[in-house]
Amino acid sequence: MKEKVIVTVVGKDKVGIIAGVTAALAKANVNILDISQTIMQDFFMMIMICDMSGAIMDLSALKNTLDDEGDRIGVKITVQHEEVFQFMHRI
């Protein structure tokens, strides 16, 4: 059974954002199921649906890892369980 999480990335556009985030996810053995990214003016935005069922760390540790990576590359990265994301964004 897949344990889906939603990863969002927002920040000033620059080289290496996708590489940094996806490398951190790969290192944690988190599989990216779907990805969408865009640049609006000078801002980079990306959202990913990921599967944590094979991850080598729990959600809390993944959040810390991605917080550190976000600080390193200068973006804000958030991670939420799919159910929490859907609940927060329902109309």
The pLDDT tens digits for 66-81 are 999 999 999 999 999 8
For the chain, how many structural domains are there in total?
1
Residue 13 belongs to domain spanning: 4-88
CATH code for the domain of 54 = 3.30.70.260
pTM: 0.87
Residue 10, CB-side half-sphere exposure with 13 Å CA sphere: 4
Report the distance separating Cα 37 and Cα 60, nearest Å: 24
pLDDT digits (tens, 9 = 90+) for 4-39: 999 999 999 999 999 999 999 999 999 999 999 999
Q: Is 38 exposed, middle or buried (0-12, 13-18, 19+ CB in 10 A)?
A: exposed
Distance of alpha carbon 13 from alpha carbon 64, whole angstroms: 22
